[in-house]
Amino acid sequence: MNATIQGALKLGVNIDHVATLRQARYPNLLDDHNCEPDILQAAIACQKGGADSITIHLRSDRRHIQDADVYRLKEHIHLPLNFEMGNTPEILAIALSLMPREACLVPESRREITTEGGLDVAGQSTELHDTVAALRGAGIRVSMFIEPEIKQIEASARLGAEMIELHTGAFANAVGAKQMMELERLATAARAADAAGLQVNAGHGINYSNIALIRDVRPMSDFNIGHSIISRALFIGLEPAVSEMFALMNSAQPPHL
């Protein structure tokens, strides 16, 4: 079905960590735009660096991104927003009022440091059904953040999601032969998702080294990358950190797969 038309790989920059840094100093901050680092300035730097979209995760515990951030970003940046969200009525209501271009449904638990595994779409189809329908009905493109497993891909397609985001954490944490095995698993999943009519995105743990491997997975549309870009930005600035990653994603290089 070729849902993912292969052109240049797109880069979505996850700027949650910018808000994490701000909240470390201003833990009770809800909507003061004058506190550093400024999330809007960060998004503008990503835009200038060549990002194709901005990803934010409004968590139920509001540990980093705040409600005011999402509306301010929507109002002031030109790039499309990819809104990561847990499946709760509160966050769904915000998504429907925010109207991002995309919503990516992710699992969420209060104890995790970051999103730790893929969403069990196959096991939670009943709970997810109305949420996907509401988002799609409002014209928001829906993605499912899943492990590279056929049953999760099939469940995502059945629910009417337009996209999946393959969880690349196992690949990012593996080394040597195990990492190549994880890469193959991602490639197999990407092909299956494409055949099922889904756009294929990927994210989690992608960095300036492992991008050399993961960029060869086809078909692939968007990489959503946060931690490594924000970390590199400490040393070279956010705009160059984004352009460097974009260049690594799209420069000519012999394929590994």
Residues labelled catalytic: 57, 84, 204
- CB-based contacts of 254: which residues, under 8 Å, 6+ apart? none
Query: Which of 4, 11, 13, 14 touches ligand PXP (CB under 6 A)?
Result: 14
- Matching residue, tokens 């190549």: 180
What CA–CA distance (Å, rounded) separates 202 from 169? 10
By CB under 6 A, the residues from 131 to 170 that bind ligand PXP are: 145, 165
Q: Stretches 25-33, 41-49, 65-73, 221-229: which one binds ligand PXP (CB under 6 A)? A: 221-229
Interface with ligand PXP includes 106 (CB under 6 A)?
A: yes
Binding mask 54-83 for ligand PXP (x = CB under 6 A): ---x--------------------------
Interface with ligand PXP includes 20 (CB under 6 A)?
A: no
What CA–CA distance (Å, rounded) separates 34 from 43? 15
- Cβ atoms 105, 143 nearer than 8 A: yes
Buried b / exposed e across 77-116, counting CB within 10 Å, b at 16+? bebbbbbbbbbeeebbebbeebebebbbbbbbeeeeeebe
Query: Which of 52, 69, 84, 182 touches ligand PXP (CB under 6 A)?
Result: 84
Interface with ligand PXP includes 47 (CB under 6 A)?
A: no
Query: Which of 59, 64, 204, 232 touches ligand PXP (CB under 6 A)?
Result: 204
CB nearer to ligand PXP: give 106 or 153: 106
Interface with ligand PXP includes 100 (CB under 6 A)?
A: no
What CA–CA distance (Å, rounded) separates 220 from 4? 6
* Phi, psi (rounded to 5 degrees) for 80: -65, 150
Q: Which residues bind ligand PXP (CB under 6 A)?
A: 14, 16, 57, 84, 104, 106, 114-115, 145, 165, 203-206, 224-228
